[in-house]
Structure 1
């Protein structure tokens, strides 16, 4: 029997915190404000509260899975072991859709950010260059990639704190109550995908658990500190941005033209205080670019591990499951993902791409929580370095909110739901007819699972 393909263990808790926050932090800089025209301040705030509860309970539950089964496949591995190969494949597909569709939207935002300084700069070529640059950086080694991620994440967090420090002195409570619910209660549902953007992809920490020096300790610290940081930043960013001039001021660059919206709320909020010619304004906007880069780079890293795991178990071509000998990184998987992402860029549909990515995330959360319940029942004696508190309440809360959100989005975004369903259906058909019959029953089971019970 050949020696199993393994990734290099180089990550500690600080690096994992940087990855966890970095995966997500672009959601503080762009995109979330597009939930305001549909939900208003109240709608997005209520959706945000529900989604925050979901993510806090989910992260604690997911940490149990990640520390028990520290594998690069994340949800794919948990579901395969807990619920079988078919559900495992669906969990892996949902994870891939989330991780493959989020970076193109961020790449577009990076290109748009450059236009603040170079108005004539074309967005698409900049986005493509970003894909090539950060794919190469990820191939160069996980420690190099994670160190870079940590540095730019710290800069991005600092910028958000400076932004809050500048805007909160100008905060007015009445700005939160201007046209607070333009669509009524239905606006809460419409705002859900944009509320999720505050936390989307934090689960990517689990995909690098295999590369943690001490998974049982480091993943817990990294995951826990990351979600705590993100909850604080999301609250500060929402309150300080909307509180300066009302939600319409951070959606419409020209108040008289409500047909033209901006997905970059922070620059619009700052303009109310400094104007767009101030040196401090340009400095903060420049630093804000690091927030986009942190998430773009980080999700590329996590997506590479998810694709690599599919290749390693031969669900995808075996070449995608190979590790580059010199750097010990999944180079083939990273390159494959890059070309998929570039193809998505040519659609030009940033908002649609984000929504499809959210569908993938929600299905991943549902399958992961079901996997946790199944593993507790099927393998009660396996070593669990961390157990989710208040079991089964925490995973049940995460499961219920994720399921309700998924169903609600299917009704509110039926076309996107059909596209997502078609992608999942095509993927499963490929698996069922071409892969399942020759796949091994046990897919790289964690050693403790093989010996327990």
Structure 2
């Protein structure tokens, strides 16, 4: 969500919240499939293992490499989006692409070293960030709804499906929005380490599903209530969550630095 919101708005425009919402339905269908398969086959391997059991080694090989490519792209996108958020403290990271590329490379290298030499620390660090992230997004939804609730009806007048955005752009916006819904494959990969995978893995997936769909739907509505879609897809395209905080009265001085660090 920290990078997908702005990019989705480029294509879906004012219908961005619809693209996020529709992508959420595909995410729900994916979660239901993963929950069923992970509880039936509680082994490490995820979709690659599922493909092997169902279609053989050839499809498993293809699924494994597709996942690897997906991980590489997701890592690059996520790391590249950190710089613009830190631009709150270091403007060069938001204004200079080359500086952000250099910073992204250094960040990825640091994460690799953290995973190699500090696996336990990496797990606790990820868990801590996830908790702070959920609390931050909930805060944005609460504060955003408090100040921009009257603007929510105006959202429906910011787009006209078929013309602005066009259907091809809207459909592409849905596919871009899917980037925000990640993490289920990682849960599936860890199913072999669960004490009772038949129960705990589906429960974890359903909890992730509910939390993610609720937060992303709420954040997308608050974003379009706080600012014009054109502003979201240009000025704040690389750091949309920071843009939301910027337009919330009274609290943006406190939320701004915090989101810069968290992003």
TM-score by length of 1: 0.52
Q: Is the 8 A contact 1:176 1:243 kept in 2?
A: no
| Structure 1 residue 178 corresponds to structure 2 residue 158 | yes
Deviations 1:100-141 (A, max 9, x none): 211011111112322221123521232222222222222246
Structure 2 CA distance for partners of 1:222 and 1:141, relative to 1, 3 Å: farther
| Cross-structure match for 2:8 | 35
Structure with a larger share of its residues in helix: 2
Structure 2 CA distance for partners of 1:113 and 1:147, relative to 1, 3 Å: same
**Larger radius of gyration, structure 1 or 2?**
1
| Cross-structure match for 1:114 | 86
Residue from 48, 65, 70 that aligns with 1:93: 65
Cα separation, 1, equivalents of 2:177 and 2:81: 18
Structure 2 CA distance for partners of 1:37 and 1:130, relative to 1, 3 Å: closer
Q: Secondary structure at the match of 1:29?
A: coil
Cα separation, 2, equivalents of 1:160 and 1:208: 26
| Cross-structure match for 1:430 | none
Alignment of 1:13-412 (within 5 A): 28-42=1-15, 44-121=16-93, 122-140=99-117, 142-169=119-146, 170-171=148-149, 172=151, 173-181=153-161, 182-253=164-235, 262-274=237-249, 279-289=253-263
Structure 2 CA distance for partners of 1:124 and 1:245, relative to 1, 3 Å: closer
User: CA offset at residue 56 of structure 1?
Assistant: 0.9
Q: Secondary structure at the match of 2:92?
A: coil
RCO greater where, 1 or 2, for CA within 8 Å and sep 6 or more? 2
Cα separation, 1, equivalents of 2:190 and 2:119: 9
Cα separation, 1, equivalents of 2:165 and 2:107: 37
CA RMSD of aligned residues (A): 2.3
Cα separation, 2, equivalents of 1:266 and 1:177: 23
User: CA offset at residue 229 of structure 1?
Assistant: 0.5
Alignment of 1:431-442 (within 5 A): none
Cα separation, 2, equivalents of 1:95 and 1:280: 38
Unaligned runs of 5+ in 2: 94-98
Q: Is the 8 A contact 2:246 2:256 kept in 1?
A: no
TM-score by length of 2: 0.86
Q: Secondary structure at the match of 2:248?
A: helix
Q: Is the 8 A contact 2:19 2:174 kept in 1?
A: yes
For these two proteins, the number of residue pairs brought into alignment is 253
User: CA offset at residue 287 of structure 1?
Assistant: 4.5
Q: Is the 8 A contact 2:14 2:229 kept in 1?
A: yes
Q: Is the 8 A contact 1:250 1:266 kept in 2?
A: no
Cα separation, 1, equivalents of 2:160 and 2:232: 14
Unaligned runs of 5+ in 1: 1-27, 254-260, 290-453
